[in-house]
Amino acid sequence: MLAKRIIPCLDVRDGKVTKGVQFLENVDVGDPVAMARYYYEQGADEIVFYDITASNERRGIMIEVVRAVAREIFIPFSVGGGLRTLDDMRAVLLAGAEKVSIDSGAVRNPAIIAEGARAFGSQCMVLSMQVRRGAPSERFPSGCEVVIDGGRTPTGRDALGWAREGERLGAGELCINSIDRDGTKAGYDLDVTRLISESVAIPVIASGGAGEPKHLYEAFTAGAADAAIVASIVHYGEHPIPDLKRYLRGRGVEVRDAAGMERSAK
């Protein structure tokens, strides 16, 4: 049986970690490489970086970050944000990322999922989707619509329909990010996560809303998620990853026991 994965998420702009993180032990929280190493040693099962750099001219900075991170941590990590072409993806993968995460770019050009899967393998391709809950309707049977551009632009696509299409096109994993729950600390949107997880044959990652340890437990049980993205719940040091794992293990959830070993290796 696979362990449920806990995946810290770091937003990076112009090569610096931006929001969410204030202070963690004596780590330079602005430095994505130091942060990645910190979470690696804490026992993170994977790390995701979202590049929110606005200007195209400065995108090369992220490649340098990826290269530096890859020298420091020896678990999978993915990079998302602004990847539109095969060349964008190739640059990130060659720099050392295990996976790429595509979001708005895939909605605008779904063929990129199939092209990426063919070029690099499905296991590299994470389709990340932002979803917003509304009333279930004929158009949105899942009760959730896919939105892009940080929630500003509705797409008219049903969340479940897009998830199935993404799988068919060759995505290796799906990340379901609830716009309604993002930043609320009210827990993941369990309904849409479970609905999608039980309808596809690829792993599903819950995202948006984790504020307490029980929210992860819910994501892995009621939400049927294979993995969960965590941000503020770990960034402020209130619930370190080893504590989250201890809590989950105590409630019968299979998680990877790594923290002791990562530290003892130093």
Partner 1 sequence: MIAIVDYKAGNLTSVARALDHLGHRCEITDRAERIRAADRVIIPGVGAAGATMENLIALELIDVLRDEVARAGKLFLGICIGIQVLLDRSVEDHADCLGIIPGEVVRFPASVDGRPLKVPQIGWNRVRQSRAHPMFAGVPDNSHFYFVNSYYPVPADSAITIATSDYGVTFTAAIARDNVIATQFHLEKSGTAGLRMLDNFCRLKV
List interacting residues with partner 1 (CB under 8 A).
1-3, 5, 40, 45, 70-71, 74-76, 93-94, 96, 98, 121-124, 172-173, 201-203, 226-227, 256-258, 261-262, 264-265
Please write down the long-range contacts of 151-158, taking CB distance under 8 Å and 24 or more positions apart.
151/179, 153/104, 155/107, 157/107
Closest separation in Å from C-beta 44 to partner 1: 9
Our CA angle for 232, 233, 239, nearest 5°, is 140
93 versus 148: smaller Cβ distance to partner 1: 93
Name the residue type at position 199. S
The radius of gyration of the chain's CA atoms, rounded to the nearest angstrom, is 17
Closest separation in Å from C-beta 200 to partner 1: 8
66 versus 148: smaller Cβ distance to partner 1: 66
Closest separation in Å from C-beta 171 to partner 1: 11
45 versus 145: smaller Cβ distance to partner 1: 45
- Of all helices (H) and strands (E), which one includes residue 94? helix 86-94
- The answer for residues whose C-beta is within 8 angstroms of residue 223's C-beta and 6 or more apart is 188, 190, 193, 194, 197, 206
Q: Which two three-digit tokens encode residue 116?
A: 């990426």
Matching residue, tokens 């009333």: 135
Closest separation in Å from C-beta 72 to partner 1: 8
14 versus 98: smaller Cβ distance to partner 1: 98
- Of all helices (H) and strands (E), which one includes residue 146? strand 144-148
Closest separation in Å from C-beta 201 to partner 1: 5
77 versus 140: smaller Cβ distance to partner 1: 77
